[in-house]
Amino acid sequence: MKRIRATFKDGKAEVKTFGFQGSACLDATRDLEKALGKVTGDIKTAEFRQTAEVEADAVNRR
Amino acid sequence: MSHVAAIDLEIAPTQLDALEAAITELGGTLVRNQKSYKWYGQLVGGGSRGAEFDNLKTAPGVCAHAIRPAGWKHGDYEGGVVEATDGTFRLVWDSYATGVNLDRAFGVGGTRIKDHLGAELAMRHAARKGQRARKEILADGTVAVDVYVD
């Protein structure tokens, strides 16, 4: 199951996503991040890049 | 994990219900539409008043709503929910004298209120989308919300 974990400490938030494919994680959290405040940093992890590459390959083969 | 976003929490005037829920969870009270908050009454030199006092629309002591910690008694200092020039709300109070009770209850600068507000907003956001969500307080005081997406 896909999961979003939001943590709050010292007036700052961190939003992490687990189990999403490629850019779907960005779509899933965009509204929540906007509701919480000002995004000051955004890091795409290895999982994001791997699934994004798979998506791109699939598109290129069509 | 596929991505991590870091966010500076802000309080929008439209989030007053969630703000009240966060303050209540910490044992405090939001006094809606009380337009002044009790403080020392004048600025004195030599101290640092904190960045939360910068760029406010109103003078010290003037607010949109007031905040009281648990155990507040008549005459004790109060916090103010104050509109800033960027349209967001800030949480401000005088930390001297009985103002220390506000720091203890809500964190210096209201950080604990912001943390609980963020969690409340995340829970409400999930409910609106029909998603299952779970909140927990970690040992170090971090408030965490897990949202499960089908």
Q: Please answer yes or no on whether A29 and B5 come within 8 Å at the CB atom.
A: yes
Residue B103 φ then ψ, to 5°? -60, -45
The pTM of this model reads: 0.88
Does B6 fall in a domain?
no
pLDDT in tens, chain B (150 residues): 678 999 999 999 999 999 999 999 999 999 999 999 999 887 666 555 666 677 899 988 999 999 999 999 999 999 999 999 999 999 999 998 999 999 999 999 999 999 999 999 999 999 999 999 999 999 999 999 999 998
What's the domain count of chain B? 1
Does B27 fall in a domain?
yes
Contacts of B150 in chain A (CB under 8 A): 1-2
Does B1 fall in a domain?
no
Q: Is ipTM > 0.95 here? A: no
Contacts of A45 in chain B (CB under 8 A): 1-4
Does B128 fall in a domain?
yes
Domain range for B110 is 13-41+50-148
Q: Report the C-alpha gap between B148 and A18 in whole angstroms.
A: 10
Nearest to A6 by CA among B146, B55, B44: B146
Helix (H, G, I), strand (E, B) or coil at B64: coil
Token duo for residue B143: 């408030």
Does B2 fall in a domain?
no
Q: Report the C-alpha gap between A43 and B31 in whole angstroms.
A: 39
